[in-house]
Structure 1
Amino acid sequence: MTEDAPRPEARSPRGFNDRRGRDVAAERAILAAVSGVYELWGFEVLETGAFEYADALGKFLPDADRPNEGVFALQDDDEQWMALRYDLTAPLARFAAQTWETLPKPFRRYAFGPVWRNEKPGPGRFREFWQCDADTVGSARPEADAEIIAMAVAGLEAAGLPTGAAVIKINNRKLLNGLMTAAGVETDGQKLAVLRAVDKLDRLGPDGVRLLLGEGRKDESGDFTQGAGLNAAAAERVLAFTAAGVGGRSETLAKLADVVGGSAEGDEGLAELAAIDAALGSLGVGPDRALFDPSVVRGLEYYTGAVFEAELLLSTMDDKGQPMRFGSIGGGGRYDDLVARFTGERTPATGFSFGVSRLASALKAAGQDLAVAQRGPVVVIAFDQSRMADYFAVAQEVRAAGIAAEVYLGTSGMRPQMKYADRRLSPAAIIVGDDELAAGTVTVKDLDLGRALASGVTDNAAWREQRPGQQTVPRAELVAVLRRILEPR
């Protein structure tokens, strides 16, 4: 770079995060725990590439000439558009359609990895984030939905949520369609308006939804939202449907039957929920962990049957210590039309997905932060550049015993090197000067003990008394001394 060349500003693109050790470790812990649950339930891991052909994604592509709305897309040298995947389900549908003849059926897979969305970023809303999914492709049985729900419950608890800290809320799109028939809703536009109104129940309450089901609603800013245009009786029927979720699962089914029973699609949805209820009971998942909630809408055009959403129940605080409602931490449902985009044949599928970063944020907001201070390596202090080979031999000896170690490779003196080791949260520093080399010894400085004393810790006095802050020992005893320092308090 010439002196006159402008220097780029060091900045991150909006919606993309840099993460250091403790946050990465927290998300890795979640992924390891949840993956263990999925494999215990017989699901196979599947990895697909970051890019898919844009026409295989389908969801965010309003501009056929340049499909870069909602996704990050580029044109390959063969003039085909490729886009970074926006979720893990569309690649699964493509993979299933492409390899269907060779797959065990049903095909049970789980996946995790980054996804990218070309959307406006905001608080808690990123353009790149990690998802973790589990899906069953090829089974139309409601028990497949129940299994996914029960596994989601187990996965969230394995990730660190205490039992009862979250609940899976379950609905069925067929019930919603039966409700439309019972309420006299005929046009697609009116149906969409009703579903959007129901989806706002948590935020606006029954009175606000009642207005949106009727002529419309004016918000606090004065903006008017056109309503669905239902008459008063039809609107009350919809509200009665959304209120039917109070009580146990069997009680909810009985209330729902009073509202949507009698329509063919509504009765089919009720039968599917009854089968899910029975299977969840057999799997030991009670209504305190999974309940029926008719207000759950999700994916207005995406889902075809059961839908479910995981809601955090713990009290959460924002960065300023103020109470906040965290809401959904994952969701899913049945999507029987996705594979058919490729094959023309309807292929049943159901699955659950959660954002790994979002779940980590939820745990942190609820005081269940999995992020822990990352232990640094043992640092070998470098006194003399001519002795670097000796320092590397010590570090390699420590690493051979399974203990992380490094040789300081800067040019600073003793004090800055010790400060470096402290910033790395190193458990110990190893000092090997000329005297130690001549005598076949090493000096080990216990940095953990120093940090404990500096912080004024008053408990575990015996632990501190048994640990000298610095000791010179024979080289053959180095690993044993380090292991004693690394033992948990």
Structure 2
Amino acid sequence: MSGEKKERRPRAETPKGFRDYFGAEVTERKEMLDRIAAVYHRYGFDPLETSAVETVEALGKFLPDVDRPNEGVFAWQEEEADWLALRYDLTAPLARVAAQYRNDLPTPYRRYAMGPVWRNEKPGPGRFRQFYQCDADTVGSASVAADAEICAMLADALEEVGIPRGDYVVKVNNRKVLNGVMEVAGVLDPSDPEKFAHERGIVLRAIDKIDRLGPEGVRALLGDGRKDESGDFTKGAGLSGEQTEVVMGFTTARRDTGAETVARLHELVGASTLGAEGVQELETIAYLLAAQGYGPDRIAIDPGVVRGLGYYTGPVFEAELTFEILDEKGRKRQFGSVAGGGRYDDLVKRFTGQAVPATGVSIGVDRLLAALRAKGRAGGDAAGPVIVTVMDRDRMADYQAMAGELRRAGIRAEVYLGNPKNFGNQLKYADKRQSPVAVIQGGDEAAKGTVILKDLILGAQIAQNATLEEWKNRPAQVEVQRADLVAAVRRMLDGSNG
């Protein structure tokens, strides 16, 4: 028996690249998503919830991080059956739904979806393998009015959750324009779309990283390749110096006004029919938005927006927050992108064989929450429930009745269910729960028909910096009639919030 190995206990730790979310974080996320959903609902979009698991075939191969196992998805094979994977975004499942239920859904079909997605990517600071997305899409409309509407709705959603005008800009570009530039550069052949497809993928991902890598880093990726600070080498697109400069000219095409930017894009696309079509679509989007009061201070044409995913076919957009924050080293920097999307007219076609136009946007929920915390619109300590303490085990029904009355009045409340022997532990529990009020009724109070209410918020303030006068004017503990419990607690809560 002595030679038997002792069973090893599992390590209590989250897997690398994943994290847990507690109380206030979950509540803040829900409140933010509810506000965004209200905007989407006003625009006529309906909610949709799809399975977290899709077949690999249905998901397709569109992730930018193709060097990871299974091309960036968490996948497994059912016994002698299909390969399955956790969804990497909410758009690919929508394409499957649009194809599967095409005879039942209205055309166009307008939906929004919110939930976690999973990517088998290399984790890093602030980069997790599971994260929330919040999407809205229109499937079945080829009109650029649908793209313009998505941009307007995105601007409204940002303002609804607390990002004021002047602190964000929705940038709009068009993949057709970039494809026109790549045609001029000699890395796109309209007669053979698959030719140079690998090189174009590298070009797209390189341009999409210009804010992080800078012009020289992008140039390196367009050419032979780039070695990062850790020494890892990323193979480039292999473009010549002349081809590289044509593409780089596209990244710096933005001018002071939308009209000047469009004129520069016309020059860059040259004789490319596809490129000219993309420029025309940008002009139309700008016109439609201006007619609704969305000027370039809120939504602007910007050739620097590319989006790394390979399925975009037309307009692409990105919401960037323009206010400054301090990074981990105390340096000022702009907050950056919190949402992006675009037109993907070929995604549903994979299932049906018929062209089905679609456009949509995805909000990075964790990024937007971080932005709201930076603006002081989220991240404060969330108040816990009112705690009904237990002074006598045999009177648990009375304490439960008190909590029930508070709940029916809309007040969050709970009865202490730990060992009630040490009353100090009950107050420590209330403090850890960030409870605003503790309800106390011992035998003496029960005989008199009263309860004691302890103001835990004021008590904490007194312990820190409340003046003696404030303490006298508002005692931290009061005794009230049992029948007045709900009204007295509400008064105390209103005072704590004042």
> With structure 2 as the length reference, what TM-score do the two structures score?
0.89
- The offset of 1:51, in angstroms, is 1.5
Q: What's 2:307 paired with?
A: 298
Identify if the C-alpha distance between structure 1 residues 357 and 397 changes in structure 2 by more than 3 Å, giving closer, same or farther. same
Equivalent position amino acid for 1:407 in 2: V
- The offset of 1:295, in angstroms, is 2.2
Please, which moves more after superposition, 127-136 or 79-88? 79-88
Contact 2:221/2:234, CA 8 A, preserved across alignment: no
Equivalent position amino acid for 1:202 in 2: D
Structure 2 residue 432 is the aligned partner of structure 1 residue 430: no
Structure 2 residue 347 is the aligned partner of structure 1 residue 338: yes
Identify if the C-alpha distance between structure 1 residues 466 and 483 changes in structure 2 by more than 3 Å, giving closer, same or farther. farther
Structure 2 residue 298 is the aligned partner of structure 1 residue 289: yes
Matches of residues 142-221 of structure 1 in structure 2 within 5 Å? 142-186=144-188, 188=196, 189-207=198-216, 209-210=218-219, 213=222
Q: Deviations over 1:281-334 (max 9, x none)?
A: 122211122211112221353110111112221112234544345432111100
Contact 1:311/1:330, CA 8 A, preserved across alignment: yes
Matches of residues 62-101 of structure 1 in structure 2 within 5 Å? 68-76=70-78, 79-101=81-103
Q: What's 1:230 paired with?
A: 240
Q: Distance in 2 between matches of 1:71 and 1:195?
A: 20
Equivalent position amino acid for 1:279 in 2: L
Equivalent position amino acid for 2:369 in 1: A
Contact 1:115/1:130, CA 8 A, preserved across alignment: yes
SS at match of 1:151: helix
Identify if the C-alpha distance between structure 1 residues 287 and 373 changes in structure 2 by more than 3 Å, giving closer, same or farther. same
Structure 1 residue corresponding to 2:108, chosen from 106, 109, 114: 106
> With structure 1 as the length reference, what TM-score do the two structures score?
0.90
Structure 2 residue 384 is the aligned partner of structure 1 residue 376: yes
- The offset of 1:246, in angstroms, is 2.1
Q: Distance in 2 between matches of 1:398 and 1:204?
A: 56
Structure 2 residue 399 is the aligned partner of structure 1 residue 397: no
Contact 1:60/1:70, CA 8 A, preserved across alignment: no
Q: Distance in 1 between matches of 2:236 and 2:431?
A: 61
Identify if the C-alpha distance between structure 1 residues 482 and 78 changes in structure 2 by more than 3 Å, giving closer, same or farther. farther
Structure 1 residue corresponding to 2:284, chosen from 239, 262, 275: 275
Contact 1:377/1:405, CA 8 A, preserved across alignment: yes
- The offset of 1:468, in angstroms, is 2.2
Q: What's 2:17 paired with?
A: 15
Structure 2 residue corresponding to 1:250, chosen from 232, 254, 259: 259
Identify if the C-alpha distance between structure 1 residues 242 and 119 changes in structure 2 by more than 3 Å, giving closer, same or farther. closer
- The offset of 1:172, in angstroms, is 0.8
- The offset of 1:82, in angstroms, is 2.4
Structure 2 residue 428 is the aligned partner of structure 1 residue 419: yes
Q: Deviations over 1:79-107 (max 9, x none)?
A: 33322211111111111101111111111
Q: What's 1:409 paired with?
A: 417
Structure 2 residue 360 is the aligned partner of structure 1 residue 351: yes
Contact 2:62/2:310, CA 8 A, preserved across alignment: no
Matches of residues 305-324 of structure 1 in structure 2 within 5 Å? 305-319=314-328, 321-324=330-333
Q: Distance in 2 between matches of 1:147 and 1:309?
A: 14
Q: Distance in 2 between matches of 1:430 and 1:168?
A: 50
Contact 1:383/1:413, CA 8 A, preserved across alignment: no
Contact 2:63/2:309, CA 8 A, preserved across alignment: no
Identify if the C-alpha distance between structure 1 residues 458 and 76 changes in structure 2 by more than 3 Å, giving closer, same or farther. farther
Q: Distance in 1 between matches of 2:480 and 2:212?
A: 66
Identify if the C-alpha distance between structure 1 residues 320 and 396 changes in structure 2 by more than 3 Å, giving closer, same or farther. farther
SS at match of 1:102: coil
Q: Deviations over 1:156-181 (max 9, x none)?
A: 22222222212122111111121123
SS at match of 2:102: helix
Contact 1:61/1:68, CA 8 A, preserved across alignment: no
Identify if the C-alpha distance between structure 1 residues 211 and 373 changes in structure 2 by more than 3 Å, giving closer, same or farther. closer
Q: What's 1:122 paired with?
A: 124
Q: Distance in 1 between matches of 2:142 and 2:202?
A: 29
- The offset of 1:43, in angstroms, is 0.6
Contact 1:213/1:229, CA 8 A, preserved across alignment: yes
- The offset of 1:212, in angstroms, is 5.4
Identify if the C-alpha distance between structure 1 residues 413 and 255 changes in structure 2 by more than 3 Å, giving closer, same or farther. same
What percentage of aligned pairs have identical amino acids?
54
- The offset of 1:265, in angstroms, is 0.7
Q: Deviations over 1:95-131 (max 9, x none)?
A: 1101111111111100001111222221111121110
- The offset of 1:470, in angstroms, is 1.3
Q: Distance in 1 between matches of 2:21 and 2:205?
A: 36
Contact 1:335/1:350, CA 8 A, preserved across alignment: yes
Q: What's 2:36 paired with?
A: 34
SS at match of 1:299: coil
Identify if the C-alpha distance between structure 1 residues 84 and 264 changes in structure 2 by more than 3 Å, giving closer, same or farther. same
Structure 2 residue 488 is the aligned partner of structure 1 residue 481: yes
Identify if the C-alpha distance between structure 1 residues 388 and 275 changes in structure 2 by more than 3 Å, giving closer, same or farther. same
Q: Distance in 2 between matches of 1:225 and 1:75?
A: 31
Q: Distance in 2 between matches of 1:24 and 1:217?
A: 39
Q: Distance in 2 between matches of 1:223 and 1:443?
A: 68
Contact 2:201/2:310, CA 8 A, preserved across alignment: no
- The offset of 1:135, in angstroms, is 0.3
Q: RMSD between aligned alpha carbons?
A: 2.7
Equivalent position amino acid for 1:361 in 2: A
Q: Which runs of 5+ in 2 are unaligned?
A: 189-194
Contact 1:25/1:371, CA 8 A, preserved across alignment: no
Equivalent position amino acid for 1:101 in 2: N
